[in-house]
Amino acid sequence: MSTKDDGVDRQYKCTIHLALPSAQCAQHLRDVISVDKEISDKVVKTISVVKSDEVVEDEEPSEARV
């Protein structure tokens, strides 16, 4: 699965859940990550802010390949 026009095959997916003390902190983190060019150039990311009781876990964790 190539996600960009550079022809690089990106086979890995990672989900990270961060517990933050407030919605304001979550929004601040989202704003900072959304404009970070260093991260943006290397990964495709989807960011959403949800309450902890709305978090849906993946059915099966993915295996890390080395």
Q: What is the pLDDT of residues 34-51, one digit of tens each?
A: 776 666 566 666 667 777
Give the per-residue pLDDT at 50. 73
21 belongs to a structural domain: yes
> Length of the chain in residues, anyone?
66
**For residue 3, how far is the Cα from the chain centroid?**
15
Q: How far apart are the first and last CA of the chain?
A: 18
Here the tokens at position 26 are 């979550």
Q: Residue 59: pLDDT above 60?
A: no
Q: What is the CB-side half-sphere exposure of residue 29 using CA atoms within 13 A?
A: 14
Report the domain count for the chain. 1
Looking at the whole model, is its pTM more than 0.85? no
Residues 1-27: pLDDT tens digits?
A: 444 566 777 677 777 777 888 888 888
Task: Tell me how far apart the alpha carbons of residues 44 and 54 are, in angstroms, rounded to a whole number.
Answer: 23
Residue 60 lies in a domain: no
Which residue range forms the structural domain that includes residue 26? 15-49
